[in-house]
Structure 1
Amino acid sequence: MADSAAVNDAFDRVKADHGKLDILINAAGVNTPNRWATRWLDDINHHMLDAARNGEPFAPEFLEQIPDEDFDRVMKINVNGTFFAIRAAAPLLKAAGGGAIVNFASVAGLVGLPMPAYYPASKAAVVGMTRAVSGELAPFNIRVNALAPAGINTALLTQSGDEHVQALLALQPLKRLAEPEEIARTLVFLSSDAGAHYTGQVLSPSGGAYLA
């Protein structure tokens, strides 16, 4: 996704095989740049949980520990990749006479959460991109919306352990993770005629972690 030429090649194959495109779901993304960063973040989260249980103060420090290449990698995949896919898909959606784009943002891009800045920065950028592109593509009957979920019951989230999950659930009124099927139903709604009057919107299936 971070390679614009590779993204263009993929959509060239869609054009060659089908001549048009009806729906684009931009779901590719990362929450950390590599395995080391995942372990580092898990360790800090566990320290925060232990401190909270013991009533002790703990202030995580992320900024000075993030190297340039880690910040760049997350932004290239989450932001650049989303842009590359939208840019390559637009002519095919126009050829179809319209269509729908749904971009995956995150509740982390809407509210302030203690985490490395690259992830919320990238997802806030996806929100801004969604709103800008929705205005440009509306005259072509192309709708562009975003999803900003909280925790989803996937291997990417649960690999960090139940304590990490419970810490996330503490931030939301509904004390459970979203199931992938629930998110999929929202994607179907936004991509179908049922959601025909939605564009430039950010829906947040976050269990109430984001209220607007």
Structure 2
Amino acid sequence: MRLNGKRILITGGASGLGLASAERCLQEGASVVIADLAASHGAQEAKRLDGEYSGRCLFLPVDVTSSAEVDDLVANTVSELGGLDGVFNNAGIGGLSAAVDYPDDDYMRVIDINLNGVFRVARASLRQMYRQGSGSVVNCASILGVFGQSNAAAYSAAKGGVVNLTRTLALESAEKTVRVNAIGPGYIDTPLLQDLDDELRQGLIDLHPLKRLGRPEEIANAFVFLVSDEASFITGTTLMVDGGFTAGKS
């Protein structure tokens, strides 16, 4: 198994990309902490996975806008699992509005969760990994971290920040033998997109040269690769998992 014995923390793990990644990690032999808001379905999903994969999955609540909660999350993960080998820094929200109409509070909330939250989780995780002398952090960026899109000022700004934050953290962490990378998903077929009408959905499909949306397990596969020893010489990169979305853009 590619992650046998590894101890993995996944934020935003109660659904979507995070939940798919948790299951793939368990399949590959890891122990996993699913972290998400207390009001999420994280506890029941962790219980389900715990039953399916020999009791190697548990849920811990966190709000990534709180440094204290994030620090406690990492400390409790280490207490429960005995260490921390990998992190999928995946908690995030959307947010659509023309820039001229974007209220301050809404804009800052997207930034605080999608960028500052990534920083808080990375900071706490790296402190632990430095003590261990090993580890791998994978941040969730986006195609919109590389290219802009109308009506996504906050999201694009946050994800662009994640891309460059990843590079900076990778440089700082290299001498500690800790790796930091990011994943840049295209549009992924999650329940959120299932609410779109057929025309909007097809429009998103057409943006991808492979002519389909991504699947959550395809992001999970990329995470498993980046957090595994197979990616031992990869750090500071953003792996685009986007069906070719960014290939024809410059």
1:19 Cα offset (Å): 4.4
The answer for the alignment partner of 2:84 in structure 1 is 21
CA distance in 2 between partners of 1:148 and 1:87 (Å): 20
How far the C-alpha of 1:94 sits from its partner, in A, is 2.0
Match of 1:120 in 2: 156
More strand by percentage: 2
Aligned length: 185
Map of 1:172 onto structure 2: 208
3-state SS, counterpart of residue 204 of structure 1: strand
CA contact (8 A) 1:66 1:116 kept: no
Report percent identity of matched pairs: 40
The list of structure 1 runs, each at least 4 consecutive aligned residues, that deviate by more than 3 angstroms after superposition, is none
- Whether the 8 Å contact between 1:79 and 1:122 is mirrored in structure 2 is yes
Q: TM-score, normalised by structure 1?
A: 0.82
CA–CA separation in structure 2 for the residues paired with 1:205 and 1:169: 14
Q: 1:101 — aligned with what?
A: 137
CA distance in 1: counterparts of 2:132 and 2:196, whole angstroms: 42
1:68-108 CA distance string (max 9 Å, x none) = 00100000000110000011111221233211111000001
Contact 2:145–2:159 (CA under 8 A) maintained in structure 1? yes
- Please name the residue that 2:61 is paired with: none
The alignment status of 1:131 with 2:194, answered yes or no, reads no
Greater C-alpha radius of gyration: 1
Aligned mate of 1:6, from 60, 69, 73: 69
Give the structure, 1 or 2, with the largest relative contact order (CA under 8 Å, sep 6 or more): 1
Where do residues 184-203 of structure 1 align in structure 2 (5 Å cutoff)? 184-203=220-239
Mapped to 2, the partners of 1:80 and 1:112 lie a distance apart of: 20
Question: In structure 2, how many angstroms separate the alpha carbons of the residues matched to 1:161 and 1:140?
Answer: 49
Q: 2:217 aligns with which of 161, 166, 181?
A: 181
Give me the TM-score of the superposition, normalised by structure 2: 0.70
CA distance in 2, matches of 1:206, 1:162: 21
- Alignment partners' CA distance in 1, 2:72 and 2:228: 27
- Does 2:114 correspond to 1:78? yes
Alpha-carbon deviations, 1:23-73, whole Å to 9, x = none?
Answer: 0111110112xxxx6xxx6xxxxxxxxxxxxxxxxxxxx122110001000
Aligned to 1:59: none
SS of 1:174's equivalent?
A: coil
Asked if the contact 2:206/2:212 (under 8 Å) is kept, the reply is no
CA drift of 1:151 comes to: 0.7
Whether the 8 Å contact between 1:20 and 1:95 is mirrored in structure 2 is: no
CA RMSD of aligned residues (A): 1.5
How far is the alpha carbon of 1:6 from its aligned partner? Answer: 1.1
Asked if the contact 1:19–1:92 (Cα under 8 Å) also holds between the matched residues in 2, the reply is no
Task: Tell me which of 182, 185, 197 is aligned to 1:149.
Answer: 185
CA distance in 2, matches of 1:68, 1:107: 24
AA of the residue aligned to 1:10: L
After TM superposition, the structure 1 = structure 2 runs for residues 11-90 of structure 1, keeping only pairs within 5 Å, are: 11-32=74-95, 62-90=98-126
Counterpart AA for 2:167: R
Offset at residue 16 of structure 1 (A): 2.8
1:209 partner amino acid: F
> Is the 8 Å Cα contact of residues 87 and 137 (structure 2) preserved in structure 1?
yes
Letter in 2 for 1:118: A
What's the CA shift for 1:15? 3.0
**SS class of match (1:209):** coil
Could you list the per-position Cα deviations for residues 168-210 of structure 1 after superposition, in whole angstroms to 9, with x for gaps in the alignment? 2222211101111111111111010111111000111111111
Aligned 8 A contact 2:167 2:237 in 1? yes
